[in-house]
A = this chain, B = another copy of it.
Amino acid sequence: MNNIKIGLLGLGTVGTGVYKLIGMRSDIMEKTIGAQIEVKRILVHNINKKREGIDPALLTDNWREIVEDEEIQIVVEVMGGMEPAKTVIMEALRAGKNVVSANKDLIAEEGRELLDTAQEEGRDFLFEAAVAGGIPIIRPLKQCLAGNDIDTVMGIVNGTTNYILTKMFEDGMDFEDALKKAQELGYAEADPTADIEGLDAARKVAIMASIAFHSRVVFSDVYTQGITKITARDIAYAKEFDSVIKLLGVAKNTEDGIEAGVYPMMLHKDHPLASVRDSFNAVFIHGDAVDDAMFYGRGAGEMPTASAVVGDVIDVARDLQHGCTGRISCTCYKELPVKAWGEVKNAFFIRMQVRNQPGVLAAIAKVFGEHKVSIARVVQEHTNPDAAELVIVTEKVKEKYMENALDKLKSMDSIYEISSVIREYV
């Protein structure tokens, strides 16, 4: 029986999960692939650190020992970050190895070069784990849904923020407390910026949009806005509107270009994404043939991410067994423009504190009208004799017009504060 050898780059949470899972599934692999799969070498920072269940003889702190090992056919990169990950992957591909990676940061920025190199070398470069952890999404997009013209990919692709928003929505927590609880549970890091500001989600959106629309979208193409400004008051209104607030990554392929952004959004409770709770992730797509579809599951964590990595490893092993590595390569054969964010149309929920006197609403409505913003709904609550809270929900309007309207409103004496501006899914 063929014995396929793996070089594992990194032995953090995901790397440890991958190592364990490959061991746990050796019987299945032998029977479904007809080959044994064995981790031969593991790249770590410190080869002297004791690691339970890992033979120290496997460890190396020199990645060349993996890239130059002729027996190793699959390199699994779970070290993360840009460098040295990129250099090692490129060298591994150039040395004729197949690569499985979970590195969303790298793929969201340098995916094209990595995929092109894999294609030149006729090798597999798979990265199911880089988007939404254990949830199958790359392979469904590239294969199962390959017959579709996909116009929308939209998802909850960050578990930390979904956990925080769920706690705020269901348990009435405020943002700071929910974040603290997420940190206690290990869902959020000590520095939570990448999660709560939407940067992590934006990387995943870039990768998904590239695959779904057959055109490269990189991290810097994605507009991002985090969830730090969402308040209990906004959530109360969401409930009143039979909606939830979710941090969504949204990518659309429109006639005049690709739109890509990450931002909190009010979403009606009947939408399939609305019932995605806690730290779960889900990706919703719309294609011209399949109509709506959604993929739901664990977006992070040791074993869910290892599930995706090992699924890729098994697929590479099948390709090795059948002599067809490089079978699925880059599918970005279009060069579609990415729309300037100001040109993207959205509907908005705007909550503001205004002077409680006749004519204020009319003045505000006039500003909106002058900036091409149509009002869909107005809710006014008197908070004290002098002040009122005014909520305006708009029709879809270009982001740049809304920005101009908000600038104008901010300069008005009768408006004390614009408390929230949240996009609404319509």
Contacts and interface: CB of A to CB of B under 8 A. Distances in A.
A140 to B, nearest CB: 4
Contact of A314 (B28, B146, B287, B304): B146
Interface of A: 17, 21-22, 24-25, 28, 31-32, 128, 134-136, 139-140, 143-149, 214, 270, 272, 274-277, 280, 282, 287-298, 301, 303-304, 306-311, 313-315, 318-319, 322-324, 326-328, 331, 333
11 contacts: A28-B146, A136-B144, A139-B144, A140-B144, A146-B315, A274-B275, A289-B303, A293-B295, A293-B298, A319-B327, A324-B327
Given A136-B140, A146-B28, A275-B275, A304 B331 contact: no
Contact of A277 (B270, B277, B298, B313): B270
A289 B275 contact: no
A151 to B, nearest CB: 14
Contacts of A318: 327-328
Contact of A140 (B140, B319, B322): B140
A267 B143 CA distance: 33
Nearest to A148: B307
B275 A291 contact: no
A293 B134 contact: yes
Given A146-B311, A314-B146, A327-B318, A293 B296 contact: yes
A313 B148 CA distance: 13
Contact of A293 (B128, B135, B214, B287): B135
A314 B319 CA distance: 17
A347 to B, nearest CB: 23
A327 B316 CA distance: 11
A176 to B, nearest CB: 26
Contacts of A28: 146, 149, 214
Given A214-B28, A288-B303, A297-B292, A314 B143 contact: yes
B291 A147 contact: no
Nearest to A306: B289
A289 B277 contact: no
Nearest 5 Cβ contacts at the A-B interface? A147-B310, A136-B144, A293-B297, A324-B324, A289-B307
A143 B315 contact: yes
A295 B277 CA distance: 16
Contacts of A280: 292
A175 to B, nearest CB: 23
Nearest to A17: B289
Contacts of A272: 275-276, 296
Contacts of A294: 282, 294-297
B290 A307 contact: yes
Contact of A144 (B21, B288, B291, B311): B311
A135 B333 CA distance: 25
A21 to B, nearest CB: 5
A31 B331 CA distance: 8
Nearest to A33: B146
Nearest to A314: B146
A328 B319 CA distance: 10
Contact of A31 (B140, B326, B333): B333
A290 B313 CA distance: 15
